[in-house]
Structure 1
Amino acid sequence: MTALAKGRIAPQSGTAFEVKKGQLLKITDPFGEQVCDLMCYRLQDTEEWLSSGRTLDYAGSWLIRQGHVLYSNRSNPMFTILKDTCGRHDFLLTPCSLEMFHKLYHHQGHHPSCHENLYTHLQPWGIGPDRIFTTFNIFMNVQLQPDGKLTVEPPMSKAGDWILLRAEMDLIVGLTACSAGQSNNGRFKPIDWELLEPEQQALRL
């Protein structure tokens, strides 16, 4: 199997690139317990973007995993999850932002964030800060408590866990290695990604 492109996202940073329809995107947690935020847009029209609400509606589940489809705000499939060795991801919470670190962590001054890392790397396609919506938070472990509260627990991903997605349209994709300590069990680690040829043999990973 040939990788068209691959890279390692340094801790608390991000990247963005184009993915063609039918290509496969593999995202790996090389050391375990590290979240990767994913946001995407239709390449030909960035007013069509990844929608948490549509995806949860059509899945009938707040847990999105192998076999599920990630839908756009226009109800079109964007990605299909073909393989998933972790099985625990979040599609409820927005990406960490500087404002979030001020409000929830009481951090003073600048702090790296997924929000900033996404819009910084998506700027070449004309995507600004206000167009970063709820991300698909790969390997993030959000739990619903009986009293209705949401809690963020350490990721369940182990070293080497991965998820494989097939693009269902031409896309612009932004990825991060999450910058929020609570989401990553207090440590910041890299995320690996590979863009793979859409060959049948690729499904036999």
Structure 2
Amino acid sequence: MSEVLLSHEIPGGAAWSVLVRAGRELRLTALEAGANCSTLLYAAHHPVDRLNVPDTLKAQMSARVHAPMVLMSDRGTALCSVTGSSLDWHDALCGHSCDAQLERLGPSSYHAERNAWRRSARAGLLGELRKHGRGPADLHACVNFFAKVATSGDGTLTFMPGHASAGDWVTLRAEQDVLVVLSTSPHPLDPQWTPPAVLAEVRATAVPGADDPSWTFRDESARALRAAREVLA
């Protein structure tokens, strides 16, 4: 087990952000069944380069995020590699939840409910982005780690409850300095408000070798990783 450099438990329905240095690993662990972690990624030293979910999926011939895929930026550089996961499906199609989707649950406020008040992922993500001098223009399509949706023949997306169990995990290796913004509010298609907590740990990790699965996964993955190394040069 690699050395833990930073550990933070994100309560259910909350948000958090962290700068992960190149070569370090971010491990996310579901602390209860049914977790969701809406995740945004940004190149820390570039003003606008950020995760491009459509390009990430298209280049790697997938409709889901799974190991050993590479999460690519708008400029085609690798931001993070998915180095491992206890689940083979993380949703990248549905985006994050918005305030309007919570209206069906009735009113909620910090004044009445304190830290148990209901906040959409959008609200939480924006709160974290403002800490870094960013705002609504910086929101982008996210990855919902621990969540799964099924597609029907007519293109309808259906949320799959119970996909994640307590203890499920995913690890991301930063391929350059990356700002990671996380929300543990429920998936936008989840009809319930029972958001579990997620543990986030930044760990030291070994330098990948020539046989690293993310490097050998697809030619497009290796090209994005080479571009990230040029950023670091």
Instruction: Establish whether residue 148 from structure 1 lines up as the match of residue 155 from structure 2.
Output: yes
Q: Is the 8 A contact 1:116 1:129 kept in 2?
A: no
Q: Residue 49 of structure 2 contacts residue 75 of structure 2 at CA under 8 Å; is this kept in 1?
A: yes
The answer to whether the 8 A contact 2:27-2:171 is kept is yes
**Unpaired segments ≥5 residues, structure 1:** none
Shift of 1:40: 1.1
Q: Go from structure 1 to structure 2 and tell me whether the alpha carbon gap of 1:94 and 1:180 turns closer, same or farther (over 3 Å shift).
A: closer
Kindly provide the amino acid, as one letter, of the partner of residue 120 in structure 2.
S
In the alignment, the residues of structure 1 paired with residue 106 and residue 188 of structure 2 have an alpha-carbon distance, to the nearest angstrom, of 12
Q: Deviations over 1:155-179 (max 9, x none)?
A: 4111101001100111111011123
Of 68-77 and 105-114, more deviation after overlay is shown by: 105-114
Q: Is the 8 A contact 1:155 1:185 kept in 2?
A: no
What percentage of residue pairs aligned between the two structures are identical?
A: 23
Query: Under a length normalisation based on structure 1, what TM-score does the superposition of the two structures give?
Result: 0.89
Q: Equivalent residue for 1:187?
A: 194
Contact 2:68 2:82 in 1 (8 A): yes
Aligned 8 A contact 2:23 2:176 in 1: yes
Q: Please report how far the alpha carbon of residue 185 of structure 1 lies from its aligned counterpart in structure 2 after TM superposition.
A: 5.7
- State the one-letter code of the partner of 2:70: V
- Does the 8 A contact of 1:89 with 1:139 survive in 2? yes
Distance 2:127 2:135 in 1: 8
Equivalent position of 1:132 in the other structure: 139
How far apart, CA to CA, are the structure 1 residues paired with 2:12 and 2:162? Answer: 16
Partner of 2:5: 4
Runs of 4 or more above 6 Å deviation: none
Q: Rg: which structure is higher?
A: 2
Query: SS at the partner of 1:56?
Result: helix
**Farther off after superposition, 82-91 or 183-192:** 183-192
Q: Within 5 Å, which residues of 2 pair with 1:1-205?
A: 1-102=2-103, 105=104, 107=106, 111-180=118-187, 182-183=189-190, 186-199=193-206
Structure with greater strand share of residues:
1
**Are the equivalent residues in 2 in contact too, given 1:155–1:184 (CA < 8 A)?**
no
Determine the structure 1 residue equivalent to 2:112: none
CA distance in structure 1 between the partners assigned to 2:154 and 2:106 by the alignment: 28
DSSP 3-state at the match of 1:120: helix
C-alpha deviation, 1:107, in angstroms: 4.8
Mapped partners of 1:108, 1:145: distance in 2: 33
CA-CA distance at 1:180 after TM superposition: 4.7
> Structure 1 CA distance, aligned partners of 2:185 and 2:88?
18
Q: Is the 8 A contact 1:113 1:180 kept in 2?
A: no
CA contact (8 A) 2:148 2:160 kept: yes
**Post-superposition shift, 1:131?**
1.6
Q: 1:150 to 1:107 in 2, by over 3 A?
A: farther
Q: Does the CA contact (< 8 Å) of 1:39 and 1:175 recur in 2?
A: yes
**Paired AA for residue 149 in structure 1:** T
